[in-house]
């Protein structure tokens, strides 16, 4: 059974000029131990999806409809206290900037033991031991001494390690990591990504990894969801989506990333920009920028359908009329 | 005349010689006296030399804090070098910046900044922003002519002449970066210093901006200094690449050499650290360690604590940039053939 199920999730922001729909009926699930990558440009709704799952949507943003289920239990309708016992215990969170996720006034040891004791019935001594072993697991040398240090005494990469240790403190089954390496240098980014991958594998935790870096996704994830204007354009096994993108947006996104192995004089570019929330076009949200647009794209919104192209056991799902036409023809 | 011209053409447009910039980051005088602390100097850029030929792009790469942006600011005259100098088209640029004729030099060197949200005045219309350099340098006096020129500049970066009356907040990040480019192009400069021009942008928008920059270079013969930490972008735009570490150039070579056959252990480490799209699920050997504190750099080669090839010599003697088989490199191990 899936660990996390998101069903037809809609997130809205009421405003003076009408309600803005930031997440528009998205559905996906994450299996236990799986790493799901979520990519998309700024404003695609990646971080909002994460915020909705961990129950940290900033008002006036709200879940307008749909369900979020963790181990078959609904968590989208819980109150703050109930949600607090799930956050940390069942779902751990890692955010972009490690400095703002740590409290500068407490030592990292204090923050770790506090988190551990808030969720698990352990003594002070045990909590301390656990905190030290967590820091060791995340690759912090001399953990027994470092535990007394304050966040400002750590470098950026080290702080992100502490944040990962914090997220794992109460052994959650799901980690939601929102751009965990964006604020870090490339050389540190590689360390953090492999750490995240290994630690989660060791503990059997599933990860929802949000990033805009396709390289990170390719290297880390089992499956990937590509988001555009609050909708999922394509979701499927990572090698399939990257090597055989089906949605024109995914294909365009792949083509505009400068490649380390080829010498192109010009990069492919997707003209235009992502629509604003108050001006999402009718039909497929990508239609004004799509090179393969036709009549139906401007009228009806496509649903996610499976396209199996030689990958029978794990087909990718694509929301594009091009593919739905194909499947229909295939049936007929 | 023609001999002179030929000479000028063969000479690089931009020549930086031993550029260095030291910042005084000491505690205030009183605290120093009371607590008996010494002065503290931060060597942000420590003896960097390079040349950029006319119409070519030199890219500087490196991690945060390695001095890339300080080099950029030295080149446009926002900082004055502590020592060393900059020759632009045969002239001493920093002497020119201080002379009464500074505007002529400034007109020829322009800069594009990283954050298009911070580098455009939110209270000015786009027309005023792009037209300001034209006004400032007294290039165009006539209002109508100014408007036409601004419209032309906006069109050259793929915006519309009608955008002139809008304000920066009405544009997306990529469009704003194009406005910055249009502003930088207003004085028809020969040399553009671009400090991380696309790192605040999404990939699809980054591709648009990079394409525009390349097109403009081809059309106008612009010379670029391109600063970035994104090696894939650097590979795409540059002709030559300089790799910086703690204020020094450690490798400087043609882009194909740097990317296909990197020599310096730091360059190899950086290249190895990039996640690649081709091999999904590949396990990498992650890079060890982090950049040391620039206030207290390690003795010898500043990379030695992270370097797999470091030996006793690396820990005591600082390597200098030397010519080895056509590439410039500062590494004892490569020089001795230990790699």
Q: What is the mean pLDDT of residues A237-261?
A: 87
Residue A324: pLDDT over 80: no
Give the DSSP H/E element, type plus range, for residue B223: strand B223-227
Pairing of strands A91-94, A316-318: unpaired
Tell me what percent of the residues of chain B surpass a pLDDT of 70. 94
Task: State the alpha helices, DSSP H only, in chain A.
Answer: 46-53, 80-86, 98-101, 108-119, 124-137, 143-146, 156-168, 186-203, 214-220, 238-243, 248-255, 321-331
Domains and CATH numbers, chain B: 2-17+50-276 (3.40.50.300)
Q: Could you give the maximum distance between any two Cα atoms of chain B, in Å?
A: 69
CA distance B239 to chain A (A): 12
In this structure, the answer to whether residues A256 and A159 fall within a common structural domain is no
What domain count does chain A have?
A: 2
In this structure, the answer to whether residues A11 and A105 fall within a common structural domain is yes
In this structure, the answer to whether residues A51 and A130 fall within a common structural domain is yes
Contacting residues for B203 by C-beta, under 8 A, at least 6 apart: A41, A212, A214, A253, A256, A257
Q: Which residue has the higher pLDDT, B6 or A261?
A: A261
Domain boundary among A226, A251, A278: A226
| pLDDT of amino acid A130 | 92
Tell me what percent of the residues of chain B surpass a pLDDT of 90. 45
Please tell me whether residue A208 adopts helix, strand or coil conformation: strand
| pLDDT of amino acid B253 | 93
Residue contact A185–B174, C-beta within 8 A:
no
- Indicate the pLDDT class of residue B289, thresholds 50, 70 and 90: confident
| pLDDT of amino acid A330 | 41
Domain boundary among A226, A247, A278: A226
A17 touches B: beta carbon within 8 Å: no
Are B140 and B126 a contacting pair, CB within 8 Å? no
Domain of A315, in residue numbers: 230-260+268-331
Q: What is the mean pLDDT of residues B104-133?
A: 91
Residue A286: pLDDT over 50: yes
In this structure, the answer to whether residues A158 and A287 fall within a common structural domain is no
In this structure, the answer to whether residues A217 and A234 fall within a common structural domain is no
In this structure, the answer to whether residues A84 and A128 fall within a common structural domain is yes
Residue B251: pLDDT over 90: yes
| pLDDT of amino acid A26 | 93
Q: What is the mean pLDDT of residues A259-277?
A: 79
**pLDDT tens digits for A160-200?**
989 999 999 988 999 999 988 887 877 788 888 888 888 88
In this structure, the answer to whether residues A157 and A237 fall within a common structural domain is no
Which of residues 103 through 132 in chain A touch B, CB cutoff 8 A?
A: none
Q: Which of A179-193, A270-284, B222-236, B269-283 has the lowest mean pLDDT?
A: B269-283
* Residues of chain A with C-beta less than 8 angstroms from the C-beta of B172: 273
- Check which CATH number belongs to the domain holding A156 and give it: 3.40.50.300
In this structure, the answer to whether residues A236 and A181 fall within a common structural domain is no
| pLDDT of amino acid A107 | 94
Residue contact A267–B210, C-beta within 8 A:
yes
Please tell me whether residue B101 adopts helix, strand or coil conformation: coil
In this structure, the answer to whether residues A60 and A188 fall within a common structural domain is yes
Q: What is the mean pLDDT of residues A89-106?
A: 89
In this structure, the answer to whether residues A196 and A302 fall within a common structural domain is no
- Other C-beta atoms closer than 10 Å to the C-beta of B103 total 15
CA distance A213 to chain B (A): 9
Q: Could you tell me the strand order of the sheet in which A206-210 lies?
A: A91-94, A174-178, A206-210, A35-39, A223-228, A231-237, A316-318, A305-307
Q: What is the mean pLDDT of residues B304-309?
A: 88
Looking up tokens 């390289």, which residue turns up? A215
- Reading the block at residue A6, the tokens are 């998101």
Residue B290: pLDDT over 80: no
Residue contact A216–B275, C-beta within 8 A:
yes
Q: Which of A238-252, A299-313, B114-128, B260-274 has the lowest mean pLDDT?
A: A299-313
In this structure, the answer to whether residues A108 and A134 fall within a common structural domain is yes
| pLDDT of amino acid B6 | 47
Q: Would you call the peptide bond into A60 cis, given omega within 30 degrees of 0 as the criterion?
A: yes
Residue contact B203–A216, C-beta within 8 A:
no
Which of A216, A242, A260 to probe by mutation at the B interface, max B CB count within 10 Å?
A260
Q: Which residue has the higher pLDDT, B27 or B179?
A: B179
Q: How high does pLDDT run on average in chain B?
A: 87
Q: What is the ipTM of this complex?
A: 0.77
* Residues of chain B with C-beta less than 8 angstroms from the C-beta of A238: 280-281
CA distance A263 to chain B (A): 7
Are B74 and B87 a contacting pair, CB within 8 Å? no
Pairing of strands B83-88, B14-24: antiparallel
- Going by C-alpha positions, the residue among B48, B129, B128 that lies closest to residue B85 is B48
**pLDDT tens digits for B319-334?**
999 888 888 999 999 8
Residue contact B270–A186, C-beta within 8 A:
yes
**pLDDT tens digits for B152-210?**
999 988 888 899 999 999 888 888 999 999 999 999 999 999 998 888 788 888 888 89
Residue A288: pLDDT over 80: yes
| pLDDT of amino acid B281 | 56
| pLDDT of amino acid B283 | 57
**pLDDT tens digits for A18-45?**
889 999 999 999 999 999 999 988 888 9
Q: Report the phi/psi class of residue B289: left, alpha or beta, with left for phi > 0 and alpha for psi in -120 to 50.
A: left
Tell me the C-alpha distance between B159 and B163, whole Å: 7
- Indicate the pLDDT class of residue A97, thresholds 50, 70 and 90: confident
| pLDDT of amino acid A307 | 81
pTM of the model: 0.83
In this structure, the answer to whether residues A92 and A185 fall within a common structural domain is yes
């Amino acid at each position: 059974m899936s660990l996390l199920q998101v069903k037809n999730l809609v997130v809205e922001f009421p405003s003076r000029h009408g309600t803005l729909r930031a997440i528009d009926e998205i559905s996906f699930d994450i299996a236990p131990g799986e790493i799901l990558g979520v990519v998309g440009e700024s404003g695609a709704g990646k971080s909002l999806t994460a915020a909705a799952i961990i129950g940290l949507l900033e008002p006036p943003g709200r879940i307008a409809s749909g369900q979020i289920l963790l181990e078959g239990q609904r968590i989208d309708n819980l109150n703050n206290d109930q949600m607090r016992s799930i956050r940390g215990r069942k779902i751990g969170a890692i955010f972009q900037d490690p400095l703002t996720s740590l409290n500068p006034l407490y030592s990292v040891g204090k923050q770790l033991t506090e988190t551990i004791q808030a969720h698990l019935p352990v003594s002070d001594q045990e909590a301390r031991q656990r905190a030290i072993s967590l820091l060791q697991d995340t690759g912090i040398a001399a953990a027994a001494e470092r535990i007394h240090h304050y966040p400002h005494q750590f470098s950026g990469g080290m702080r992100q390690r502490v944040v990962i240790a914090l997220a794992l403190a109460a052994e959650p089954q799901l980690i939601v990591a929102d751009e965990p390496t964006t604020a870090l240098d490339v050389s540190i980014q590689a360390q953090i990504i492999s750490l995240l991958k290994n630690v989660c594998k060791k503990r059997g935790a599933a990860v929802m990894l949000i990033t805009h870096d396709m390289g990170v996704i390719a290297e880390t994830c089992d499956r990937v969801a590509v988001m555009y204007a609050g909708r999922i354009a394509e979701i499927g096994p990572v090698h399939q989506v990257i090597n055989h993108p089906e949605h024109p947006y995914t294909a365009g996104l792949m083509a505009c990333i400068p490649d380390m192995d080829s010498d192109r004089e010009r990069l492919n570019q997707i003209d235009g920009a992502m629509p604003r929330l108050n001006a999402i076009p009718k039909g497929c949200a990508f239609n004004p920028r799509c090179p393969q647009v036709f009549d139906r794209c401007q009228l009806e919104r496509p649903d996610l359908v499976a396209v199996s192209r030689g990958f029978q056991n794990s087909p990718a799902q694509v929301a594009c009329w091009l593919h739905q036409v194909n499947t229909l023809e295939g049936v007929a | 005349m023609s001999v002179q011209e030929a000479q000028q053409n063969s000479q690089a447009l931009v020549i930086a010689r031993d550029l260095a910039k030291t910042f005084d980051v000491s505690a205030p005088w009183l605290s120093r006296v009371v607590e008996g602390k010494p002065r503290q100097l931060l060597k942000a850029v420590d003896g960097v030399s390079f040349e950029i030929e006319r119409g070519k792009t030199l890219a500087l790469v490196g991690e945060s804090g390695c001095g890339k942006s300080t080099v950029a600011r030295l080149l446009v005259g926002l900082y004055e070098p502590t020592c060393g100098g900059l020759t632009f088209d045969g002239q001493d640029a920093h002497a020119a910046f201080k002379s009464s004729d500074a505007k002529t030099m400034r007109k020829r060197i322009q800069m594009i900044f990283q954050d298009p949200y911070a580098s455009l005045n939110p209270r000015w219309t786009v027309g005023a922003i792009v037209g300001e350099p034209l006004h400032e340098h007294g290039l165009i006096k006539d209002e109508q002519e100014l408007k036409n020129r601004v419209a032309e500049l906006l069109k050259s970066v793929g915006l519309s002449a009608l955008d002139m009356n809008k304000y920066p907040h009405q544009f997306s990040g990529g469009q704003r970066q194009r406005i910055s480019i249009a502003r930088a192009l207003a004085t028809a400069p020969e040399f553009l210093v671009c400090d991380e021009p696309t790192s605040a942008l999404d990939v699809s928008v980054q591709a648009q901006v990079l394409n525009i920059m390349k097109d403009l270079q081809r059309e106008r013969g612009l010379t670029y200094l391109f600063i970035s930490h994104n090696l894939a972008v650097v590979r795409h735009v540059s002709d030559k690449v300089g790799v910086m570490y703690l204020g020094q150039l450690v490798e400087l070579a043609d882009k194909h050499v740097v990317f296909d056959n990197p020599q310096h252990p730091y360059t190899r480490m950086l290249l190895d650290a990039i996640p690649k799209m081709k091999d999904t699920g590949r396990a990498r050997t992650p890079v060890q360690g982090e950049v040391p504190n620039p206030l207290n750099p390690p003795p010898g080669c500043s990379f030695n604590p992270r370097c797999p090839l470091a030996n006793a010599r690396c820990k005591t003697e600082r390597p200098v940039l030397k010519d080895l088989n056509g590439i410039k490199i500062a590494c004892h191990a490569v020089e001795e053939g230990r790699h």
